[in-house]
Amino acid sequence: MALLDTIGNPDDLKKLGEDEIPQLAQEIRDFLVSEVSRTGGHLGPNLGVVELTVALHRVFDSPREPILFDTGHQSYVHKMLTGRQDFSKLRNAGGLSGYPSRAESEHDFIENSHASTVLSYADGLAKANELQGRGDRTVVAVIGDGALTGGMAWEALNNIAEGKNRRIVIVVNDNGRSYSPTMGGLADHLATLRMAPGYEQALDLAKVALNRAPVVGPPLYDALHGLKKGIKDAIQPQIMFEDLGLKYLGPIDGHNEQTVEKALRRARDFGGPVIVHCITQKGKGYAPAENHDEDQFHAIPKLDADTGKAKSAPGSVKWTKVFSEEMVELGAEREDIVAITAAMLHPTGLAAFAEAYPDRIYDVGIAEQHAATSATGLAMGGLHPVVAVYATFLNRCFDQVLMDAALHRQGVTFCLDRAGITGDDGASHNGMWDLSILNVVPELRLAVPRDATRLREQLREAVAVDDAPTVVRYPKGEVAPEIPAVGRIGSMDVLRRAADGGHSEDLLLVAVGPMAETCCEVADRMAAQGIGVTVIDPRWVKPLDPALVAEAAGYSVVAVVEDNGRVGAVGDAVARALRDADLDIPVRTFGIDQEFLDHASRTTILADMGLTPQELSRKLTETVSRHTERSPLADEPAQS
């Protein structure tokens, strides 16, 4: 019987002998490669934390002592060790989430998949333990080295260091990468530590007291801190963690389970905040991942487990690829264009730009706030920065977009990949908020391309603006089919025009970006029932073209279909524009319900929201019927 089959909870894990752990680790890796290659998901990060996660659950008493993961994409092994080994529907409706999920298990305290937040959770939980008399419990926070580039992590460390008797163990999972190689001064510092494996031993020789008493309390540690600092400064560059007043253990081999266990037990027994620095290898044990220079199979589609080759449809073109190619073209035409990424060079499509123009790319780490304000500074200096982030991560730098880029009227272009429903990564990754939050920003201009041609055109239009921030948003996955315009109304494209001689003024249907394909099918269905529908693509949804209001005046009903939360987005903006013009025209808005959506495919979620041609046609036919006071089939000949 396989050892993995005997593990139903962490207590079962604790019963294994030390000699059985290597076999278990291999079984876990085999399971991950086999299962995740069938479904897609975060493979590389989980292969890198097998021994580390096993050690965590052998040392700590989860869920009594919560184990928190940042960003959460490395929690598959944790799921397997806490009773969740059915990965057959991973990240699909009814299956396991790709991140920790409070609905799945009591062992999941936080549903964390936005980076650099776990230390703040840990600080709060440790303070709660202190105030409520649970001083014997330890809070464990596992944070990747990439997540430590985020400013929020350092805000938390500043507070954690203050609580000398609060039991927090911070495990730094240091693989030199987040999505891509970790950038910045912190990365350089950690690399220095990794290059000096004899540092801990050398320092221990000079700390006889600590060698004789490996488990010491905060008072003795504080007394020795000054002496230790002088010793270590002579041997090794300053360890910033200890300079904060935090006990530091490491660096240690994160793939030697027994070494990790010993370090974790020592950290647990210390009685105050401790950092355990573990060196791991992303993709460990699976050659295709280890040899994949781009990101060690950080997040994979379905693939052939034997070869590591993706099973994607031949000839498919991704939105990110279109953006990537156009950025390279723009870079060749304009030397003032620079690009910024927040630790996602490859996922956002900026790798090609970086290769072509290595002096004009800035990876700021997982620091979206800094990215936005630094971009504002670049614009003030006479350049035009393009900041490429996932739409969901723009939420993290809203204040900087508002009060830095927009207030100063600087030409910064934000390109939002994975806008709208992304689906399988769950609630935290759906890019369904940006159209709502950006609509309140004065002067900002916002484009939503419907296909690849429009993405290229509107990206060029965006970078031509130098007196206000611009935003271009596009979804995850394959580009929508090309939909040529059949006419123009102001700056807007007409995609379908109601047939002459019929009821040509029934419905004006406003299609926002990639929802254009759906809206055109809706128009075709309704036209077959004698309903006149004109479909327009506004292209730029902020500010709305005044021609939209003038056009709407000639219709019985206006409807807006968008891939965003319904509150405060394009539909609300259209309704407000009509009210401001004193036009008493009913407006129907179709979008995403304002709720945190369970993980499922994009297609499934859109269907659940009623954003399919069939459901939209039905609802809009009923609406038009009510407001025109006639049956939608009144003009059809009677059936014999």
Task: Count CA within 13 A, CB hemisphere, residue 380.
Answer: 12
- CA nearest neighbour of 509 among 401, 621, 434, 601: 621
- Pairing mode, if any, of strands 139-144 and 247-253? unpaired
Q: Is 135 helix (H, G, I), strand (E, B) or coil?
A: coil
Cβ atoms of 177 and 208 within 8 Å: the answer is no
Is 9 part of any known ligand binding site?
A: no
- Pairing mode, if any, of strands 540-542 and 445-447? antiparallel
φ, ψ of residue 277 in degrees (nearest 5): -95, 105
Is 158 part of any known ligand binding site?
A: no
Is 115 part of any known ligand binding site?
A: yes
User: What whole-number distance in Å separates Cα of residue 410 and Cα of residue 470?
Assistant: 9
- CA nearest neighbour of 388 among 316, 460, 488, 474: 474
Catalytic annotation, pick one of 326, 368, 461, 551: 368
The DSSP bridge partners found for residue 473 are 416
Catalytic annotation, pick one of 396, 454, 476, 542: 396
Is 147 part of any known ligand binding site?
A: yes
Is 357 part of any known ligand binding site?
A: no
Is 73 part of any known ligand binding site?
A: yes
**Which residues have C-beta within 8 Å of that of residue 173, sequence separation ≥ 6?**
48, 49, 52, 74, 142, 143, 144, 145, 254, 278, 280
Element counts in the chain: helices (H) and strands (E): 26, 18
Is 106 part of any known ligand binding site?
A: no
Active site includes 368? yes
Is 343 part of any known ligand binding site?
A: no
Catalytic annotation, pick one of 282, 418, 445, 539: 282
Cβ atoms of 330 and 459 within 8 Å: the answer is yes
- What does the DSSP assignment read for 584-597? ---EEEEEE-SS-P
Active site includes 102? no
Cβ count near 388 (within 10 Å):
26
Burial of 207 (0-12, 13-18, 19+ CB in 10 A): middle
The token pair at 177 is 């990468």
Residue 390's alpha-carbon distances to 9, 434, 435, in angstroms, are: 35, 10, 13
Active site includes 155? no
Residues annotated within the binding site for Mg(2+) are 145, 175
Residues annotated within the binding site are 73, 113-115, 145-147, 175, 286, 368
Residues annotated within the binding site for thiamine diphosphate are 73, 113-115, 146-147, 175, 286, 368
Active site (catalytic) residues: 282, 368, 396
